[in-house]
Chains A and B, each alone.
Chain A
Amino acid sequence: MTVLGNLGLWLALLFGVWGAVTGFAGGRTSRPDLAESARRAVFAMCGALAVAVIALEWALFQHDFNVEYVAAYTSRNLPIFYTWSALYAGQKGSLLFWATVLSFFGSLALLFTAPRHRDLLPYVAGVVCTVAAFFVSVMLFGQANPFARLPYTPLDGSGLNPQLQNPGMVFHPPMLYLGYISITIPFAFAIAALLSNRLDGDWLVAIRKWTLLSWLFLSIGICLGMWWAYVELGWGGYWAWDPVENASLLPWLTMTAFLHSVMIQEKRGMLKKWNLALILGSWLLSILGTFITRSGVISSVHSFTQSNVGYFFLFFLIATAAASYALYVTRLPLLLAESRLESMVSREASFLFNNLVFVAIAFSVLWGTLFPILSEWVRGTKITVGPPFFNTVNVPLGLLLLALTGMGPLIAWRRASLPNLRRQFAVPLTAGGFTLLVLLVGGMRDLYALLAIALGGFVAATIAQEFGRGTSARHRQYGEPYLLAFARLVARNRRRYGGYIVHAGMVFLFVAFAGMAFKTETEATLRPGESVSLKSPYGQSYSFTHLGISQYDALNRQVTAATVEVRLDGRRIGFLTPEKRQHVDALGRPTFQPSTEPAIMSMLREDLYGVLGGTVNGTEQAVFRFTINPLVWWVWYGGLVVALGGLIVMWPGGTPAARRAQAGYAVRLVEPTRP
């Protein structure tokens, strides 16, 4: 099968190069035969790469340990899901996964894009083929071929890193990859629009679903990554400002900015230059993230093994950035706004400030991530830029963004009058102020937490007001029951109300982030029967009693599990069973160092998080760390709400009127019948 896999890669490279040449030539010369050839090259490349993926999966499931990749990431006793997900667990396999999904997305874009965008498609095929061919060439020429064989065949493989043996592994990396990869399609349309000089709003219509899809995948991927870090790594947090985490956040920030600013272009024909720059920038940031993850230039716990693959990406990044922005600059005279701003106090202006904050956060995250390299270049001094730096710089910006999340929907398009502002802001401001007062009276003194929760109250009231007014209007106008009116309100204008649901999810997230300011933890050495107590920020007392340790074999690991009884104010509420796991191969040989599996008891208000550090002198006396993490559950709930809102926004259909409104058409004022 490795022969077939190699054949698939080489054919994919040939199809990719052919598709790139014919795509750009076909677009330039308007020759339909070349355009068709490029289109077919994308399909053929997708087919060839699919064959390569099947060949690699076959080798993984057949335990062909003569294949270096199979020996490095699997073992005979690895559970089947992780054997499957080993496809993207390592550098080489993930490159194959990336190229395959990109060619698949490219095929979908070519198949389902409306005929009126036909002029753009040859260029789109050209860009997709160029990018996918680059990934294939990295595999073939960058010592990253997943089908490379070993000079010998080991009896068993090394197995998958224990930290990757978590359900999060099955879902988190592919989601993030899908997010990164799908940005290529909007990027391809942007380049196509630039090359074909078709810089009206038409290309935006073609990429609308793709930008939302990409944003949704990135959002879900980031949230799943946070969940995975929390439940698997054992440090009791979900975001550490690690360079690879930052790399995933960067395109998400710029894509979110784009999803806001594109509305201004659709409605008013403004910000054409800005929107194009955001799409180009988002794609380049996704490639930068790939470079950071794979180069080893920046130290990260997530990095793949250091290899020369990074230099391929650096070259590709510089070349594509130079080419894209050179093209962009030549087209600037064609990107003139069709209308002008009517007032500084308008939805358009608030969206611009929202974009400013998004880009500022993206810049500060990028700056902090790259600053160690800059410092080493300039001063020859290595420095570390960790969470204290990122929190200092980004928390105020994040709070400003949260405030703008509430303010934006309250300000009218074009021009907001003072009475209008007063009417719109009265309830949300009161709600925010009341929340602040309650928190202060309750004794909360952490400034950032106070601001985050109070602003959360303000934004939540904004959203409730919007839903309330819309539902009431439908109830009054059509006599619909409130529930039906609510459902139809969302269904008829999915973009607007789906967006508000995303905002609601962001409120949950920010409030949950604030909860971490009140995290409490303790370390303890306990013999069986001994307890340790910990006070929660709500004033309650939890006691943790060590009951004993059991050791047993399970699947591909030897488990040492402690049982800890948890009592809340003297009442038993359950047990925590943190574990130490020694993973072994099929021959019973240890494959990695013993790893830790935290035990988590999740409640609405707080999580109890227990880690078994180890034992003392081989006895049941054990070292534990117990943590109370307030409001963590709301991070996952917020992520779900964000994903739900995103799905509503991109769900196809809606009424023709809503579609017209979304496309920026004029509004007809219906006169009521006068008696």
Chain B
Amino acid sequence: MTTGPERASPVTRRGCLALGAATALSALGRQGPSGRARAQAPDSAEGPPPVGRLWDPARAGRPLPPVTAADNDAAIQALEKQIHCTCGCNLDVYTCRTTDFTCTVSPALHQHVLALAGQGLSGPEIIDQFVREHGVAILMAPPKRGFNLLGYLLPPVATIIAAGVLIVVLRRWTVRPASGRAQPAADPGATPEELERLRRELDRLSV
């Protein structure tokens, strides 16, 4: 790819010299006042392993705080999955926050959930607090009361009613043997076995 001249050659001669000087100073500094090197830390030393700096941290996006135990708390996650992120993504707070970690709104909402939980509020109380602050649109699904019941009940009720209507219509459509209006024109000489075979053949060829 094409980049600017300063990015095309990140290590310049001046940079090399500076790096060399820094390395020499660092080596001197390690020896301490007595000039004796410190003992090397064993591999199995306790504590976190060393960590290097990135060449260009800006490329890695926004710096993030370390994950805490509360971030993986199943109860907190369950709560956050009920809360709608307001960044315009249509996702819940947990999913939005952990999708690509670029959203700045969902981490703030997450911190708010943690703060409320830290104050000793229960799950429903936290949800209620969010509704008070942001309105009912903050919920991933509308509460099952009032007008919203129409939203929940109409599809199943309409389906049940439609099924009932369909059964009634089918009963009306169904030809009674007595009426004989649309009876299949069977050969009067056909035996029941032959009729059954005919039916099987029809089944076989049916699509």
Contact = CB atoms under 8 A, between A and B. Distances in A.
Interface in B115-130: none
A347 interface: yes
A614 B62 contact: yes
B162 A360 contact: yes
Contacts, number: 269
Interface string A410-434: 0011100000100000000000000
A115 interface: no
A318 interface: no
Contacts of A233: 99-100
Interface stretch (B12-20, B21-29, B33-41, B152-160): B152-160
Nearest to A625: B98
Interface string A299-334: 111000000000000000000000000000000000
Among B62, B102, B136, chain A packs the most CB atoms within 10 A around the CB of B102
A349 B170 contact: yes
Contact of A384 (B84, B147, B167): B84
Contact of B101 (A242, A387, A623): A623
Interface in A520-540: 521-525, 527-530
B148 A383 contact: yes
Interface in B164-207: 166-167, 170-171, 173-175, 181-182, 184, 194, 197-199, 201-207
Contact of B136 (A301, A381, A499): A381
Contact of A386 (B3, B53, B84): B84
Nearest to B163: A356
Interface string A515-559: 000000111110111100000000000000000110101111111
A523 B2 contact: no
Contacts of A388: 82, 140-141
A344 interface: yes
A621 B66 contact: yes
A261 interface: no
Contacts of B151: 367-368, 371, 375, 385, 389
Interface string A350-386: 0011001101100110011001000100110111111
B74 to A, nearest CB: 10
A594 B59 contact: yes
Given A77-B2, A595-B102, A527 B154 contact: no
B11 interface: no
Contacts of A359: 162
Contact of B206 (A267, A527, A669): A267
Given A356-B166, A554-B1, A560 B59 contact: yes
Contact of A619 (B53, B137, B203): B53
A48 B137 CA distance: 47
Given A235-B95, A615-B64, A523 B3 contact: no
A341 to B, nearest CB: 4
B42 interface: no
B1 A556 contact: yes
B60 A393 contact: no
B174 A341 contact: yes
A611 interface: yes
Given A301-B90, A393-B156, A412 B203 contact: yes
B191 to A, nearest CB: 13
A340 interface: yes
Contacts of A617: 63
A363 B56 contact: no
Contact of B102 (A378, A473, A596): A596
B114 interface: no
A344 B166 contact: no
Contacts of A584: 1, 3
Given A386-B92, A553-B1, A554-B1, A623 B64 contact: yes
Given A384-B139, A617-B63, A623-B101, A473 B51 contact: no
B43 to A, nearest CB: 10
Contact of A611 (B91, B100, B166, B181): B100
Contact of A299 (B1, B3, B90, B167): B90
Nearest to A376: B137
B1 A555 contact: yes
> Which of B7, B154, B206 counts the most A-chain CB atoms under 10 A from its CB?
B206
B158 A379 contact: no
A587 interface: yes
B102 A593 contact: yes
Contacts of B89: 301
A235 B59 contact: no
A662 B207 contact: yes
Contacts of B113: none
Interface string A432-448: 00000000000000000
Contacts of A396: 156
A1 interface: no
B159 A596 contact: no
Contacts of B90: 240, 242-243, 299-301, 384, 386
B88 interface: yes
B155 A364 contact: yes
14 contacts: A240-B91, A363-B159, A548-B52, A553-B3, A553-B7, A582-B61, A584-B1, A594-B61, A596-B99, A611-B100, A618-B63, A623-B64, A625-B98, A669-B197
The 4 nearest A-B residue pairs measured at CB: A618-B57, A596-B100, A364-B155, A613-B101
Interface of A: 77, 233-235, 237, 240, 242-243, 263, 267, 299-301, 337, 339-344, 347, 349, 352-353, 356-357, 359-360, 363-364, 367-368, 371, 375, 378-379, 381-389, 392-393, 396-397, 412-414, 420, 470, 473, 493, 495-496, 499, 521-525, 527-530, 548-549, 551, 553-560, 580, 582, 584, 586-588, 593-596, 611, 613-621, 623, 625, 661-662, 667, 669
Interface of B: 1-4, 7, 48-67, 71-72, 82, 84, 88-92, 95, 98-102, 135-142, 147-148, 151-152, 154-156, 158-159, 162-163, 166-167, 170-171, 173-175, 181-182, 184, 194, 197-199, 201-207
Given A367-B155, A375-B151, A383-B142, 16 more contacts: A77-B1, A235-B91, A340-B173, A341-B170, A347-B206, A378-B147, A387-B92, A392-B152, A527-B50, A549-B60, A560-B59, A588-B3, A588-B7, A618-B54, A620-B52, A667-B201
